[in-house]
Each structure stands twice: as C-alpha cells, then as structure tokens.
A and B are shown apart, each in its own frame.
Chain A
Amino acid sequence: MSDLGTQLRDYYDAAVTLIEPEDVIEKRVPYVAHPPTVRHLATQQRGWVVALSAAAVVLLVTVGVTWVTLRGRSSTPVDLVGAGPVPERVIFHAAIFDEDTPGYSENYDLYAIDPDGSNLTQLTVTNANEEAASWAPDGSRIAFHSDADGSDSSSIYLMNPDGSDVIRLTEGVFPTWSPDGEQIAFEKITDDGRSVWVINTDGTREREVTNHAGYHSVPAWSPDGSRLVYASDPNASPGDCEFSAPEGSCNYDIYTIDLDGSNPTRLTDHPTQDGFPDWSPDGTRIAFHSDRDGNWEIYTMNSDGTDLTNLTNAPALDGNPSWSPDGTQIVFTHGSTQLTYIMDADGSNPRLLTNLPPGAEALWPDW
C-alpha cells in the first residue's frame, strides 16, 4: 500500500484540471466581474464580528444568569476537598465545521452543558482556539489552553465560568486542577519532546515533574493530590510522538508519578497507544483510551494497573474519558461525528450528550 501522501496526490492530480496561462492571457477563460475587494472582505469579517459579538452578549448574559443560579447555593467558600467537587456541568470545546450550518466556525470555542443534555451554553466566542478546559474543584474558575496570542505555541489561561477575568498563566497545554484548587498540572511542548509540569494558580513555582527524556503527556491528578497519572513514552526521540511522525514511532503507555518527580510507575505495557488518563474520584480506578484492539476504546483499570476492562467495545472511535464527580458515570468523545457522550462507569447506558448541528465536533469533555 502506498502512503497517504501519495494517495492524496494521486487522487487530486486526477481530479484537478490545470489551465494554460496563454489561455488566460488571450482571454479564452471566463473573467470575474466583481471579485471581492479587501474592503468587501473586511466588511464581511466585520459583519461576522458584529453578529458574533451580539450573540456573545446574549450568551454571556444567559451564562451569567445561569451560573448565578447554579452557583448561588455554593458561592460561600467552603472546604470542598473530600466533600465532593461542585462542578455539575460538563465542559468541552466544539466547532461547527460545516460551512452550510448556522454558527459555522473553523475555531474551537468552549461550551458547557448539563449532564442531562440541557442548558447548552457557549462560554467563549473568539477567533482563536480554546481547548481542553478543566474545572476548578469549586467550579469558580476554568483552565484551558488557547492559541489566542497568535504564536505557534499554546498558552494556559484561567477565566471565570462567565468568560470574565481571563488571565494567561504560562505556556503549555492540557491544564488540569489539583484537588485542592491551588495548583495546575499541564503539558509543555518543546523541540525535545513533551513533559509534565505543575504551577501554582497564582503563577508561581512553575516546575517540571517528569525530569527525564521522552514524551510525557496529558496529566491528571490523583484524588489526594499526591500523584499524577499521564501518558508517556520515555524512549521516544524528539519528533517521534508528533502528529507528523510515522505510525509506530511512538508508544505511549500510562504511568503515575509522585508530585516531586519520584517513583515513576508504569501501569500499562502494550505496543499500541494508551492516553488521556483520568483518575476516578475515589482513587480506585483510572480511565484512559487505547487503540490496542485496532480501534480507539475507553478502558478502566485499577490504579495499580490490574483488572483492565474495555468499556466501549464499539466499532466507532471512543476517547478522552472524564469521570463524573460522583464516579458513577464517564463522559467521553464518541464516533466518527466526534460528539460528546455519557455512559455509566461500567460501560452501560451510553447516550449522546451534545445534540449539535451537522458538521459539529464536541471534544475533550471535563466534568
């Protein structure tokens, strides 16, 4: 079988018909009487900005009212650790890629939805990509990564659930809050690979946890805050685990590590890819996704790596699991449509959470 690049080129070489420049110069091809001018394009963009801004105002007012209502009973600061996390809504990022669908957008924005599929609200409306959101344990803040600064790398931001008080924390991706709400673990991308870092939420004490070579990605906290679970290939060379690398050059497995970087422990050992781990609220199980059966599925295992269980067993793609605060359900991304689903923690009762228009994707949920 030839490689994908050759296949794509063969297909489009056969489809595309090129025109001779002489035919254009001799005016033997049709002429565009009214092409878009720079002003016209700018006006189009302004129209979108005005429309999106108006929509944003409506949405943010709605979100604000909703959140005041939802959070009113938990607005008093209390010790939430051990009392059960407050977030009652699922947060995810989404875009509508179908250009014929109202709301079409090529950029990911953040959304929140109730676990029963109601009260879908858009939290960000920007021309950047906001992705991989994570609730603070008390629901008062949201961490996410974004390419809003226009550079080639993403940064981690914090904001209120109504989209206000946005601050840039540091460069990195895949932020996740510690159970006490004081720290954020995240992934940092360099030319040498990827590594797991931790930073205080006030921006101080940024330090690397995985102080060794290789690729270390997408961390999540143990419920007691003493360890992190993450996907790792410690033997990968720079570039091996990037999207542009050939298949087979990277082998992520699931590891845990103490917060001070000691005791890295391998939990899975399989030649395919394991990733996106999330620790259950009671600390007994870890959910992750893997393509070990030739198709991406959601698995759970004990926190020591034993008792591996495939929860999805479906021909469609399943990934990005996140536990519900009470540990009874798992929210995840499912299927070729890449929408967000919920199932019980034993894999039963899967159902669609995000009923979005055609062309939409709803990814990387956090509950």
Chain B
Amino acid sequence: MAASAEETFTVFMRESQPRVAVALSAAFGADAARDATAEAFAYAWEHWDRVGGMTNPAGYVYRVGHHRASKQRRTPAVVVPEPSNHDPWVEPGLVPALRRLSPRQRTVAVLIDGYGLHPQETAELLGMSRSSVRRHHERALHKLRSALGVAIDV
C-alpha cells in the first residue's frame, strides 16, 4: 500500500528540517530562522501534492524560508548570539569569529563542517553552484582559522 501524504511529508520533514533550520539560523539567527522554518514547512505541507513531487523539495523549502526571513528580518538582528550558560561549552572566540563571516560563508561552513553535508548537498540546498560553495567554504575556513588560531582542526 502506498504511503499516505502524512507519512511521506513526515519522513521528508524529519530528514530535511535540521539542515534547513541550521542553514537559516546561520544566515539570519535562530529566532528569525525558527519562524521562517515553521512557515516554510507549513507551506510545503499545504502544497505537498506539488512540493512532494519536486526533484529538490528541501531546496525549495529553504528558498521559501530564506525569502520569509529576508522579509521579516529584525533590525538590528542578533544573527550569532552569545551562548547561554546552559548551552554546551564552545571556544570563546567562536562567536566573534562566526560574526566575521558573511551569511553565505557562515552557512556553508556550518553545514559542511558542523553537520557533515557534502559540498554537492550544500549546493543543492542553497541553490548555488558547487564551485561557489567551495569558494565560500575556503573563505570561511581561512577566516575561522585566522581568528581562532592554528590549533583547531576541521
């Protein structure tokens, strides 16, 4: 028996939401990303008969969320806030280093280095060419290493 729309959407959302949410958080900050991610997946469910048949539905949902976050950006946005006391410990220089990256550089670095996405997967999610992803990744790592020192491995 064929899976229901609820089932296919649930599988899709469980699989794609982490990368979409992280990508939007890296670009716009967690607060803006939370609303944008919710709205984008809600739209995808509302139109699941069409979105579910797309070759790259995660990329489409990301684009919807990116558009939403761009329109509703808070000013000034705290895109990379300091971690709270109950968050896992992170290197004190990480937040200032992340703030020095462009939104694209930060997004690409977080997806590839933080979440292990392949550059091709990253390119498909963000709607970029693989060579552009490579360039943003190189620039991001160069800046992060310059800011954090040479002791940190990737």
Contacts and interface: CB of A to CB of B under 8 A. Distances in A.
A100 to B, nearest CB: 8
Q: How large is the interface on A (under 10, 10 to 19, 20 to 34, 35 or more residues)?
A: 35 or more
Query: Which residue, B67, B81, B153, has most C-beta atoms of chain A within 10 A?
Result: B153
Contacts of B144: 4
Contact of A129 (B87, B135, B151): B135
8 contacts: A1-B152, A7-B152, A10-B88, A11-B94, A25-B10, A32-B42, A150-B131, A152-B130
B110 interface: yes
Interface stretch (A14-22, A52-60, A83-91): A14-22
A247 interface: yes
A1 to B, nearest CB: 6
Contact of B147 (A3, A12, A32, A336): A336
Nearest to A11: B90
B125 interface: no
A336 B98 CA distance: 12
Interface string B38-71: 1111110110000000000000000110011010
Interface string A89-124: 000000001110000001110000000000000000
Interface string B113-154: 111100000000000011110111111011111111111111
A35 interface: yes
A-side interface mostly: loop
A73 interface: no
A76 interface: no
A25 B9 contact: yes
Contacts of B43: 31-32, 35
A12 B23 CA distance: 10
A329 B94 CA distance: 36
Contacts of A29: 38-39, 41-42
Given A8-B114, A35-B40, A291-B150, A15 B64 contact: no
A5 B154 CA distance: 6
Interface string B14-38: 1001100110011000100111011
A38 to B, nearest CB: 9
Given A14-B88, A18-B17, A32 B40 contact: yes
Contacts of B145: 247
A93 to B, nearest CB: 11
